[in-house]
Structure formats: structure tokens, C-alpha cells
Chains A and B, each alone.
Chain A
């Protein structure tokens, strides 16, 4: 089975702090994604990456950056956390970037910025 692991399930951070959300997948997938999920807004794509050191902006990249130094690991970075970034963050991966490859999700990271 595909395993997408988000190391932090629940975090509370202060406004202005730098926040790292880590994600690891164990199936040698090329594609990795970061989404956020908010009530009434559904899942929105922040960033994705189809290879090591490659990244592409999603629909809502503002206030975020990402890092993909190794194929299995994709990190989401909030340079200076703000209260409107309080959300559930979901990491996902798929085998390749071709359409038709199932996308698998991690269990989510709940971030509260106070």
C-alpha cells in the first residue's frame, strides 16, 4: 500500500513564526502535492513538484514555499505564519505527472496560528 506520511498532525504556532510541514512517501512517486482544506472552500492546491528540486505553483501559492531535495520528501514552508493560514494541510503523491495516476493523500496536518 502507498504510504504518505505527514510527520506533524497537530501544530500551534505564533504569528510571524517560520513553520515547516514535512511529508514523506514510500512508493518512489515522482509527483508530490500540498493542499489546504478549509470549510466552504474545499481542497485547494498550494504547490506541487514533479521531480527533485522542481516546483510549480498551484492555485494559492502566496505566503508559502516548498522544498524537494529528495524524491521521497516534500516540505511546505510558511516563512512568516499568519492567522489566515490556520487550516488543515494535506500532502499527496502520485506515481507520475501523467493524467490517470491515482493521487494518494496523507492524514493531514492541523495548523493553528495564534
Chain B
């Protein structure tokens, strides 16, 4: 029952390689950004977040980079694994009430 993923850009990655997923955001006033991972048939799962007073944040195997000058966000996944295959969404929070605006998503396919 998947309806997520049609019309999405796709990144094909060899297992073990690093992945970089990019996202352009729209609101220069956005002060908080989140990356989500969505597997087939499931809800979005929080991966990592970053506030606008930072330009880099690292988690386990993931790094988020924020370039406010060009309103660009990226997610780097180190040593990509088959379990990383999913759709990845960036989201920005630029409105009152902690509401998120989502990007269109990127599908990551990991080749064994």
C-alpha cells in the first residue's frame, strides 16, 4: 500500500558508499530543520535536526549541514546500508506554532 514515492528524485548508492541528499528550503526566517526517513508503508521517522544557529550537526552515521546563505540543507549518510533504503524528507520550521513545511522527498536506493 505505498503511495509515497511517485515523481520523486532517486539517488542510487552502492552499499558501503556515502550518500548525500540535498534540500533547498524556502523561508529565510526558518530557524529549525529536521530530516525524516520514511520506509514503505510507515510514518516518517526522525533522523536528525539542526537549529539555525549551527551549520553542522552529527549523529550516528549521519551529518546534517546547513547553509543559510543559499538556503540549503544536506544530509550525509556514511557507509550506506541496505536498511537505509527509504524516502528522505527535509522539513523547515519557519512559522509560529512549531509547524513544519516539508520538502518533496528523495528516494534512496542502496544497491548490494
Contacts and interface: CB of A to CB of B under 8 A. Distances in A.
Interface residues of A, number: 33
Given A42-B103, A88-B3, A94 B98 contact: yes
B43 A107 contact: yes
B39 to A, nearest CB: 10
B7 A99 contact: no
Helix, strand, loop or mixed for chain A's interface? strand
A42 B104 CA distance: 6
B3 A31 contact: no
Given A100-B32, A105-B43, A108-B42, A31 B6 contact: no
A43 B92 CA distance: 12
Interface string B35-65: 0100001111110010100000000000000
Interface string B61-91: 0000000000000000000000000000101
Contacts of B5: 39
Interface of B: 1, 3-7, 31-32, 34, 36, 41-46, 49, 51, 89, 91, 93, 96-100, 102-105
A64 interface: no
A54 to B, nearest CB: 11
Interface string A96-114: 1111111111111010000
A48 interface: yes
Given A37-B4, A102-B49, A105-B44, A42 B31 contact: no
Contacts of A39: 3-7
Given A42-B103, A107-B42, 10 more contacts: A31-B97, A31-B98, A45-B100, A56-B97, A90-B44, A94-B98, A97-B96, A97-B98, A101-B98, A103-B46
A98 to B, nearest CB: 6
